């Protein structure tokens, strides 16, 4: 390998089956010196937000993908002039080590690289920006990656809705500063509001990408592949609610997030031992029913990016406290956009908690590859007949959807009845 050679960093596959990802935010800018393992870009796949580090040090020559652009795995996203290995501490000098790094590769031959218009990254950046702003003709517009601006300034511009390409930077070499962005934002805010709405203001179009697209495709595939059956049962969960109150006062459960969902999760793991068909998989390729002797319990989680169903591995092997802690981990990771691919694959059955939205019951759709999902409705106080008398009880409705190819009506009914019985008399949950 020759010193100071140019490399194109290719978008790697950061998860099982990943084909493309969206460039969310560049963490570096053109001309910037970068170190080994420095985060250069944040991407969003169909499963999570991921920060990609660079496997080598050098100087950023060109950003080959714009923020908001969806690119396929294996596409070059950044061009870097690599620093001579001997000059970088901790970097092996052998070419073999570099070629093994994910996302890296030698510079493509000129004939094979896609054509791009020439770009200027030198000290003439100020004049380049000015020409695009004031020229009477219509030059090729800049994209945001060509504008000199620090990552915090780029983030500020994105948060305030300011287009970096519309600004003339007043910093060194035409760099756009924080003050430039704030001034542009103030100008937009102070513009008079039109008396009438334009046609475009009457509707909003949101690109279907990432998690939302993946979930939509998965739900359609599931709905039209697995024959769904849904059954309902209304349960007196007063004893379970009393158990929760008791556990929350015990030192052993201090700081542990306990909820009706926690108890339902444990109840499902216990009931699945008696009806293993609800924890199976229809293998269409081999024409076999695969019964799982472990439970990877999916927890449907609403996030800003759409619905995610990360799963707790080997949930049936965890006691109530361990299960509560594991559920909290996957939920927090999903909401923060930090789920790892392993958490998003391999689920065997799932829970969706619609009760948190005040909903009594629903008909959940199975996650692909699973044979059962339980929807937990809102826990509310209602009149209930107990021992011939009308009393006030804490009541909820459970809805079980199952794949009728794998689970017949009797098996689904038994599983749902067992779960209901455990929640009605929760003594088994602490075993």
Residues carrying an active site annotation: 404
Asked whether 199 and 339 are in contact (CB, 8 A), the reply is: no
Identify the sign of the CA torsion 312, 314, 316, 320.
Answer: negative
323 phi, psi to nearest 5 deg: -65, -40
**DSSP 8-state secondary structure symbol assigned to residue 106:** B
Taking alpha carbons only, the member of 345, 348, 342, 343 closest to residue 290 is 348
How many Cα neighbours within 13 Å face the side chain of 172? 2
| Burial label, 285 (beta-carbon count in 10 A; 0-12, 13-18, 19+) | exposed
Taking alpha carbons only, the member of 419, 399, 243, 379 closest to residue 321 is 243
Name the one residue in this structure whose structure tokens are 């007043």.
170
How far the first Cα of the chain sits from its last, in Å, is 62
Asked whether 399 and 363 are in contact (CB, 8 A), the reply is: yes
User: Which tokens is 95 given?
Assistant: 């070419």
CA distances, 168 to each of 11, 96, 132, 181 (Å): 31, 44, 10, 10
DSSP sequence for 17-70: T--EEEEEEES--TT-EE-TT-EEEEEE-SS-EEEEEPSS-EEEEEE-S-TT-E
Taking alpha carbons only, the member of 426, 4, 12, 46 closest to residue 239 is 426
DSSP sequence for 140-164: PPP-GGGS-B-HHHHHHHHHHT--G
Alpha-carbon span 162 to 62, nearest angstrom: 22
Alpha-carbon span 55 to 103, nearest angstrom: 8
């Amino acid at each position: 390998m020759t010193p100071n050679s140019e490399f194109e960093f290719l978008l790697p596959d950061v998860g099982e089956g990943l084909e493309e990802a969206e460039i969310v935010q560049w963490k570096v800018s053109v001309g910037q010196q970068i170190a080994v393992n420095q985060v250069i870009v944040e991407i969003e796949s169909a499963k999570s937000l991921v920060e990609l580090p660079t496997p080598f040090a050098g100087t950023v020559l060109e950003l080959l993908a714009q923020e908001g652009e969806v690119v396929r795995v294996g596409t070059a996203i950044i061009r870097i002039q690599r620093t001579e290995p001997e000059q970088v501490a901790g970097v092996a000098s052998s070419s073999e080590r570099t070629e093994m790094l994910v996302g890296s590769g030698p510079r493509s031959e000129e004939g094979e690289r896609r054509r791009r218009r020439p770009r200027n990254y030198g000290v003439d950046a100020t004049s380049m920006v000015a020409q695009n702003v004031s020229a009477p003709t219509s030059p090729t517009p800049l994209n945001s990656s060509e504008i000199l601006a620090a990552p915090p300034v780029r983030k500020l511009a994105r948060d305030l809705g300011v287009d970096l390409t519309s600004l003339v930077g007043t910093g060194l070499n035409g760099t756009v500063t924080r003050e430039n962005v704030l001034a542009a934002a103030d100008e937009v805010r102070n513009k008079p509001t039109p008396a009438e709405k334009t046609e475009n203001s009457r509707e909003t179009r949101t690109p279907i990408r990432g998690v939302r697209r993946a979930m939509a495709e998965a739900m359609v595939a599931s709905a039209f592949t697995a024959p769904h059956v849904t059954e309902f049962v209304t349960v007196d969960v007063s004893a379970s609610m009393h158990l929760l109150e008791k556990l929350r006062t015990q030192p052993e459960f201090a700081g542990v997030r306990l909820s009706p969902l926690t108890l339902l999760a444990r109840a499902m793991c216990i009931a699945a031992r008696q009806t293993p068909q609800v924890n199976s998989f229809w293998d269409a390729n081999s024409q076999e029913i695969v019964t799982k002797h472990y439970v990877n319990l999916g927890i449907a989680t609403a996030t800003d990016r759409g619905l995610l169903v990360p799963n707790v591995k080997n949930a049936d092997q965890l006691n109530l406290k361990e299960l509560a802690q594991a559920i909290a981990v996957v939920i927090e990771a999903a909401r923060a956009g930090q789920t790892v691919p392993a958490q998003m694959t391999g689920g065997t059955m799932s829970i969706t908690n619609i009760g948190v939205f005040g909903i009594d019951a629903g008909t959940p759709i199975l996650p692909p590859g699973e044979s059962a999902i339980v929807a937990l409705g809102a826990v509310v106080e209602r009149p209930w007949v107990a021992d011939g008398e009308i009393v006030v009880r804490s009541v909820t409705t459970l809805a079980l959807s199952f794949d009728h190819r794998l689970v017949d009506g009797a098996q689904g009914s038994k599983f749902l009845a067992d779960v209901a019985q455990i929640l009605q008399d929760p003594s088994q949950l602490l075993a």
